Amino acid sequence: MMKTPKIIEPAGNQDITLEVMWNTNGESIDVAPGSGHFVWIDLKPKGNKVFIARYI
């Protein structure tokens, strides 16, 4: 899957390689469906306020 979102936080922005996402059932998914859905990713932020952006 290999997506490269941008992590935006007060400590500084960074591009990451997103290798896997999970839905609320713990199943691996390839696409975040959008509004009303929760998706989990393996992210270790520097602080407690983080935005995730994608390149279009």
CA-based nearest residue to 15, from 46, 53, 56, 44: 53
* Reported pTM: 0.64
The mean of the pLDDT values for the chain is 86
Give the mean pLDDT of 9-25. 90
Give the mean pLDDT of 14-27. 91
Give the mean pLDDT of 17-30. 91
Strand duo 28-29 + 40-41: pairing: unpaired
pLDDT per position as a tens digit, 28-38: 998 888 888 89
DSSP 46: S
17/10 Cα distance (integer angstroms): 20
